[in-house]
Amino acid sequence: MEVVNLAAFAILLSLAVVLVAQVLRSGPVSLWDGFFYADALSALVVLLSAFVSLVCSIYAVGYFRHEESSGVLQEAKEVGGRSASDKLREYYALMPFLVFAMTLVALANNLGILWVAVEGTTLASVFLVMFYGRETSLEAAWKYAIIGGVGLSMALFGTILTYYSAYGALGTDTLAGLNWSVLARNAAQFDKPTMRLAFILILLGYGTKAGIAPMHTWKPDAYSEAPIPGAAILATGVLNCALYGLVRFYILSSKCLGPQFGSQLLILFGLLSMGVAVPFILVQKNFRRLLAYSSIDHSGIMVLALGFGGPLGILGMLLHMTFHSVTKPLLFFCAGNVQQHLNTDLFQKAKGGLIHSMPLTGAAFLMVTLAVTGSPPFSFFQSEFTVLRAGFARDHFVLAIFFVSFLVLIFSGFLVHITGLVLGEDPGLPAADMCRWKRYSVAGLSLVIVVMGFWIPAPLFRLIQGAVGIVVGG
Amino acid sequence: MPFVPNPELGNRIITLMAALVLVLQIAAVGQRGIVSSIRIFAVQSFLLGAIAAVIAYFNQASHIYIAALLTVFLKAGLLPRLLERLVEKVGIRREIEPLINVPLSILISGGLTLLGYVVAESFYHPEETSARAALGHNTLAVAIALFLIGFFVMVNRRKALTQVLGLLSLENGLFLAAISLTYGMPLVVEIGIFFDVLVAVLVLGILVFRIGETFDSMDVSKLRKLRE
């Protein structure tokens, strides 16, 4: 199963690269009478999904081998009533489903199919959240399924209303009536009041899935209960899918209603998410929940950047999405290694000084902490600075000040927690058991992050610029 | 000469049936037994299927027949059967304990229906005198009311299974909106949505079962370990 997963995701990544090359060379591609459609924006999301899935499945091999040998899966088996190898098979069978749904989100031309695929990611990941079968896992899974279900039903209502508002402009063309390639051309003639309500519902719906405040409450529970590689995919790939849906409808609404209407709402929700994350990051007792709040903060930043809009804001958002998908998995992997080493996810029970017993993970954890909080040598600094410039360019001075102060608070909170965990005197723990797979994934991803701080491959940057062009100019 | 059905008649039938759907929704709010709630949901879904068939007939939109058939088969047949079996398996005999008592709940549902009409009013363009606009006006209000009452049911009930029922009736509202506003979404989307609803119920059913097994109760207010 491990091999099949690895091979499949490696093939997926190479296909994604081929798709990117094709899109860069000759513009949007479509297949099957326009059932599939890929422009630069969808190609970017597909590329990121494929990258994340491959990286996470490499780490998963090491992670689950350790879970198996340390008896954690055995416990999960007792709760769930199945053998440990069945549990493993469950994970490796769920992953391709999840990745398939993620890819379909980005490649579907029809906005209804996009919704179906986003719902598909939710359904596949509910099983990931209840993987360990503990009481807390069931609670988290229930919360996730119910909040996600209600949120997505709002998104569906929004999709229906979008179709309704387009109905007049498109006439009787019911078959292609929800196709992006058709809608984007005619968006200016949509019925305006309906589109307004539709966008609000879409924002609430896909916003729930992206975990922006105040619909974020499922996130800390789900991310801390799912197995680490699964949680990493939820925090990057699935988050990208939700934001992708939001961006598509944002384009429609700004063509129909002017950019002003959507921007105000997006800025409000984005800043709110960042603000909500701050206190929970500062006083956090559990390092896996800390990661979830960091994810709420980052989705807030991306939504805010989308709200600032203009070429700069969108560039900031898409750069942030790219860097986030590359950096966040490493943060999860480090936390996973620490959790497996100490058998706890509470700061209080970890005595500090982890750098002595796990030098590689400790160093990577420190580095990636600096990276996700936006310290200068790393790439998040560039994207956050771009967002800030976009804010100033639009004369949102007060908002920009809020943005910076939230970032500073989150930086300090994170740094205090993680340095307390990693640095300090040697508590005399035995050296951590790090198998090959874990070492390779941590070291390899660290290398990618360092390189990306200084150099973005030119085709990737052209792809991002192409996507910016789609969002801004249509 | 081809037979052209009278759209006025179709309108009246649809409005009547939509009203029945709404009455059933409010009846479900007042219901205390879990099995009877499931049966009300089944009847409601059957009516929705019938509405879809009527719309298909009067507008000669044959692809809606498929949606109608799927609704009757899945939502009125398969899902209630699955849910009832789940009730037997988990073995809940106790009645539903709502947070707000029944008379007040029904009053709130009435208020939500009114809200549905207010929201739908803003989409009503009196200058469009075509049958479509009139149809959209009434059924959209009912659809929004179904959506809101479904929401209320989810908040008001503590049993895991009744929350699932709330989610399903909320989805029924969406189906009514889709079918009456635009005479159905493109077929491939309809089928995708049905598939998703089916899988969602299976997933939630598994969850309900596991919660009942692990906590010896389906009361979701007992799920309170994960707190900040």
Query: Do B148 and B115 meet the contact criterion of CB atoms below 8 Å apart?
Result: yes
Using CA coordinates, name the residue in chain A closest to B122. Answer: A193
Using the CB atoms, write b or e for B133-154: b if 16+ within 10 Å: ebbbbbbbbbbbbbbbbbbbbb
Taking all residues of chain A, what is their mean pLDDT, rounded to a whole number? 86
For B203, the closest of A126, A161, A194 (CB atoms) is A126
Confidence of residue A474 (pLDDT cuts 50, 70, 90): low
Query: Do A216 and A51 meet the contact criterion of CB atoms below 8 Å apart?
Result: no
Confidence of residue A353 (pLDDT cuts 50, 70, 90): confident
Inside any domain, residue B133: yes
Using CA coordinates, name the residue in chain B closest to A138. Answer: B211
Inside any domain, residue B220: no
Residue in B154, B199, B194, B155 with CA at minimum distance from that of residue B172: B194
Decide if the complex's ipTM is over 0.85: no
Start-end of H helices in A130-217: 135-170, 180-186, 192-210
Residue B188's domain spans which residues?
A: 7-215
Q: How far is CA A227 from CA A130, A287, A333, in A?
A: 9, 14, 11
Mean pLDDT confidence for A82-98? 83
Looking up tokens 């790393």 gives A378
Query: Do A122 and A114 meet the contact criterion of CB atoms below 8 Å apart?
Result: no
User: Which DSSP string corresponds to A394-419?
Assistant: TT-HHHHHHHHHHHHHHHHHHHHHHH
Percent of chain B predicted with pLDDT > 70: 81
Q: What is the pTM of this model?
A: 0.88
Mean pLDDT confidence for A417-442? 81
Nearest-angstrom CA–CA distance, A438 and A444: 10
In this predicted structure, the answer to whether residue B155 has a pLDDT above a threshold of 50 is yes
Mean pLDDT confidence for A310-332? 91
Q: For chain A, give the number of residues.
A: 474
In this predicted structure, the answer to whether residue A373 has a pLDDT above a threshold of 70 is yes
Residue in A364, A417, A411, A366 with CA at minimum distance from that of residue A384: A411
Nearest-angstrom CA–CA distance, A24 and A279: 43
Inside any domain, residue B159: yes
In this predicted structure, the answer to whether residue B131 has a pLDDT above a threshold of 50 is no
Contact A150 B163 (CB under 8 A): no
The encoded tokens of residue B98 equal 């709502």
Q: How far is CA A231 from CA A38, A131, A224, B141, in A?
A: 27, 11, 8, 40
Inside any domain, residue B223: no
- Tell which wins on pLDDT, B23 or B203: B23
Taking all residues of chain B, what is their mean pLDDT, rounded to a whole number? 79
Inside any domain, residue B138: yes
In this predicted structure, the answer to whether residue B189 has a pLDDT above a threshold of 80 is no
Number of domains in chain B: 1
pLDDT value, residue B102: 81
Using CA coordinates, name the residue in chain B closest to A289. Answer: B228
pLDDT value, residue B160: 78
Nearest-angstrom CA–CA distance, B177 and B165: 19
Long-range contacts of B122-131 (CB under 8 A, 24+ apart): B122/A193, B123/A193, B123/A194, B131/B7, B131/B8, B131/B10, B131/B11
pLDDT value, residue B157: 79
- Tell which wins on pLDDT, A60 or B205: A60
Looking up tokens 């390189």 gives A451
Min distance A396 CA to chain B CA atoms (Å): 33
- Tell which wins on pLDDT, A96 or B201: A96
Using the CB atoms, write b or e for A209-245: b if 16+ within 10 Å: bbbbbebbbbbbbbbbbbbbbbbbbbbbbbbbbbbbb
Per residue in A110-126, pLDDT tens? 888 899 899 889 888 88
Percent of chain A predicted with pLDDT > 70: 96
Contacts of B135 (CB under 8 A, 6+ apart): B11, B14, B15, B180
Nearest-angstrom CA–CA distance, A21 and A27: 10
Per residue in A243-290, pLDDT tens? 999 999 998 888 888 778 888 889 999 999 999 999 988 888 888 889
- Tell which wins on pLDDT, A301 or A346: A301
Query: Do B40 and B7 meet the contact criterion of CB atoms below 8 Å apart?
Result: no
For B186, the closest of A110, A146, A156 (CB atoms) is A110
For A110, the closest of B174, B188, B215 (CB atoms) is B188
pLDDT value, residue B124: 62
Mean pLDDT confidence for A9-15? 88
- Is the peptide bond preceding residue A214 cis, with omega within 30 degrees of 0? yes
A178 neighbourhood in chain B, CB within 8 Å: 185-186, 189
* Element of type H or E holding A31: strand A29-31
Residue in A174, A157, A172, A256 with CA at minimum distance from that of residue B140: A157
B181 neighbourhood in chain A, CB within 8 Å: 160-161, 163-164, 167
For B186, the closest of A112, A119, A197 (CB atoms) is A112
B199 neighbourhood in chain A, CB within 8 Å: 120, 123
- Tell which wins on pLDDT, A177 or A10: A10
pLDDT value, residue A241: 93
Per residue in A430-442, pLDDT tens? 777 778 888 888 8
In this predicted structure, the answer to whether residue B133 has a pLDDT above a threshold of 60 is no
Nearest-angstrom CA–CA distance, A313 and A117: 27
Interface test with B, best of A98, A113, A125, A156 (most B CBs within 10 A): A156
Confidence of residue A194 (pLDDT cuts 50, 70, 90): confident
Percent of chain A predicted with pLDDT > 90: 24
User: Which DSSP string corresponds to B39-108?
Assistant: HHHHHHHHHHHHHHHHHHHHHT-THHHHHHHHIIIIIIIIHHHHHHHHHHHHT--SPP-BSS-HHHHHHH
Nearest-angstrom CA–CA distance, B132 and B145: 20
In this predicted structure, the answer to whether residue A170 has a pLDDT above a threshold of 80 is no
In this predicted structure, the answer to whether residue A77 has a pLDDT above a threshold of 60 is no
User: Which DSSP string corresponds to B113-150?
Assistant: HHHHHHHHHTT--TT--SHHHHHHHHHHHHHHHHHHHH
Beta-carbon neighbour count of residue A395 at 10 Å?
A: 9
Mean pLDDT confidence for B122-138? 57
Min distance B171 CA to chain A CA atoms (Å): 7
Sign of CA dihedral A462, A19, A112, A320: negative
Inside any domain, residue B1: no
Min distance A284 CA to chain B CA atoms (Å): 8
Min distance B17 CA to chain A CA atoms (Å): 21
pLDDT value, residue A208: 92
pLDDT value, residue A355: 82
For B225, the closest of A136, A194, A289 (CB atoms) is A136
pLDDT value, residue A51: 93
Half-sphere exposure of B161 (CA within 13 A, CB side): 33
Question: Cα angle at A43 between A39 and A45, to 5 degrees?
Answer: 125
| A277 residue type, one letter | A
Inside any domain, residue B227: no
Inside any domain, residue B14: yes
Interface test with B, best of A135, A178, A204, A290 (most B CBs within 10 A): A135
